[in-house]
């Protein structure tokens, strides 16, 4: 048995409860706090860190060498979720340098001036050189840029550095036909494409994508007001489609168009034509 002295009492503990007490609770021994965090295995620390945000990981990485190693572990950076954040382009590329498999940047502003000021971000998105890495972000397979703002030149260049991209959502964002051409040229094996309510996309740009990316399984083109040319391209070039959303295209989508899509896209399971 072991005797533990506190300020007012003496407690007797058997060896097993003593070990549990020291391991799980920061007891005060002679007035000094016990730091039990180093006793935890790295797997447990990783699990604890997984509940934190990327900003928290950055702060934790500055505590000590041990926390820095844990905070930079690829396990934590497999999926990164950033919402309504104004950031410099260099920071966006730094996030990608962590080699995430999934990156969701929703409602973000990527500022090409290198500053993080929200007012300057919306007015200085064009023609500012940034340092692109010599290597690619080969782990990234899913990218969600819904409602985000960035220059189209930046997006076109980014597409050259994500060779294994398979799923992308550009709903309500600043990408137009030029960005779609860059996407289709570099990623013909694209599986999922979201363009919901993207007012910068035209039928011409969409037809180019559909002609190049013939392995699409999911396409969300809701409220794009697709023309008949784009609808014909859907039926002609996308035989593997399983889910298609063309809501808001009632003016150009008639019964013949629906029958054409169903006849050529034999694998389709969900077709939304509201």
Position 201 scores a pLDDT of: 93
Q: What is the mean pLDDT of each run of 10 residues along the chain (274 residues)?
A: 42 47 49 68 86 84 88 89 90 90 94 55 48 86 96 94 97 95 96 96 94 96 91 93 92 88 92 89
Residue 118 · residue 97 · CB < 8 Å: no
Measure the CA–CA gap between 138 and 239, rounded to whole angstroms.
28
Q: CA–CA separation, 155 vs 176, rounded Å?
A: 10
**How much is the pLDDT for 129?**
62
Burial class (CB in 10 A: 0-12, 13-18, 19+), 158: buried
Is 136:177 a contact under the CB 8 Å cutoff? no
pLDDT of residue 121: 40
pLDDT the model gives residue 64: 85
């969409």: which residue's tokens?
Answer: 206
Q: Is the pTM of this model over 0.85?
A: no
CB 159 within 8 A of CB 187: yes
DSSP 8-state assignment for residue 206: H
pLDDT for 11 equals 42
Alpha-helix runs per DSSP H in 33-106: 42-49, 54-60, 65-71, 89-96
């Amino acid at each position: 048995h072991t005797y533990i002295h506190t300020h007012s009492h003496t407690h007797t503990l058997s060896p097993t409860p003593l070990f549990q007490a020291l391991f799980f609770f920061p007891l005060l021994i002679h007035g000094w706090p016990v730091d039990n965090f180093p006793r935890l295995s790295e797997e447990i620390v990783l699990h604890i860190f997984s509940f934190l945000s990327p900003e928290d990981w950055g702060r934790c990485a500055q505590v000590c060498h041990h926390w820095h190693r844990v905070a930079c572990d690829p396990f934590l950076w497999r999926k990164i979720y950033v919402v309504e954040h104004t950031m410099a382009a260099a920071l966006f590329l730094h996030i990608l340098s962590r080699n995430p498999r999934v990156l969701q940047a929703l409602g973000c502003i990527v500022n090409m001036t290198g500053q993080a000021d929200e007012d300057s971000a919306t007015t200085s998105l064009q023609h500012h050189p940034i340092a692109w890495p010599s290597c690619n972000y080969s782990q990234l397979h899913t990218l969600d840029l819904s409602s985000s703002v960035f220059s189209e030149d930046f997006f076109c260049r980014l597409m050259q550095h994500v060779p294994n991209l398979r799923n992308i959502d550009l709903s309500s964002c600043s990408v137009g036909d030029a960005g779609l051409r860059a996407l289709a040229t570099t990623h013909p094996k694209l599986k999922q494409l979201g363009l919901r309510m993207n007012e910068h996309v035209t039928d011409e740009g969409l037809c180019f994508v559909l002609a190049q990316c013939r392995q699409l399984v999911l396409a969300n083109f809701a409220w794009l007001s697709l023309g008949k040319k784009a609808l014909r391209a859907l039926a002609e070039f996308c035989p593997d489609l399983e889910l298609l959303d063309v809501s808001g295209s009632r003016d150009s989508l008639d019964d013949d168009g629906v029958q054409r899509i169903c006849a050529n896209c034999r694998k389709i399971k969900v077709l939304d034509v509201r």
